[in-house]
Structure 1
Amino acid sequence: MKKIFGLALLMFFLVSATEFASPQPEAMHSIEGTWELQSFYNYDDGINISDTVPTAEGYRQVKMYYNGKVMWSRHAPQDPREWFGYGTYKITADSLIEKLEFGSAPMMSALDTLRVFRFELEMTDDTYSQISFDEEGHRTFSENYKRID
């Protein structure tokens, strides 16, 4: 009888404790899908946007995220070189980390010095900004994307 009473008391305590637990955080937006670059922001003081630069006529950059993988390509009419990359990604509530594994010849040259790209992430259902920062943590510029699929 003591065991049953103890078990019932324990169950009552556990059920009561769940009512006082902190609420679940809001669900994060999903970055999975296809995104197209719309503009760039520059930050003059590491906090505030100093200007918005739209993409140039004919310039196109698309990123695709799926199942922990990222792939992107860029077409710039004034640059005859091919630019694309492939790798893995991870997001948290406020950061995006891309680790590129391979890419086009110009990208592979850049990957000799840097393979892991860390960004501050601002995201809604249909837009996101990947914000670059300096070694002191001040914002420098961002790429701003719109979901296309």
Structure 2
Amino acid sequence: MKLKVGDVIPKFTAKDASGNLFESVSIIGKKAAIIYFYPKDDTSQCTVQACGFRDNYDDFLKLGVEVIGISSDDVDSHQEFAKKYNLPFILLSDPDKALRNLFGVPSKIFGLLPGRVTYFVDKQGMIQMVFDSLLGMKHVSKMIEKLIK
């Protein structure tokens, strides 16, 4: 099943970069969120994307929007990635691709590369926008466009 505009985000749990259990209900349904799936920590497009969300994070927070990044990297990798680039937002580890499958994020390039998909979720937990592109910074600019309108 692929989540689309109008769908409500299902409940989920995952480990964050500190190794703590993150429960989606702590944010989803309480405040708006940008949830983005990306292929791999510390690769060129993923770093550009993460740094773009970092550079705009304060503006997102002022608008009442939390940012959550998700990849299959483990907790240690996320911790290093967040520290290296001073990432202030939540990074979730999805090693078994359970979240990727829950959201229906497709793989790219003959199934070899995990997809890059960003969801904008309103305060009620309903998906208002889905953006799918391999270009990391495009995701940041699309979310800024969505929130400024």
Scaled to the shorter chain, the TM-score interval is under 0.3
* Richer in strand (by share): 1
* Richer in helix (by share): 2
TM-score norm. by structure 1 comes to: 0.27
Larger radius of gyration: 1
Using CA pairs under 8 Å that are at least 6 residues apart, name the structure with larger relative contact order, 1 or 2: 2
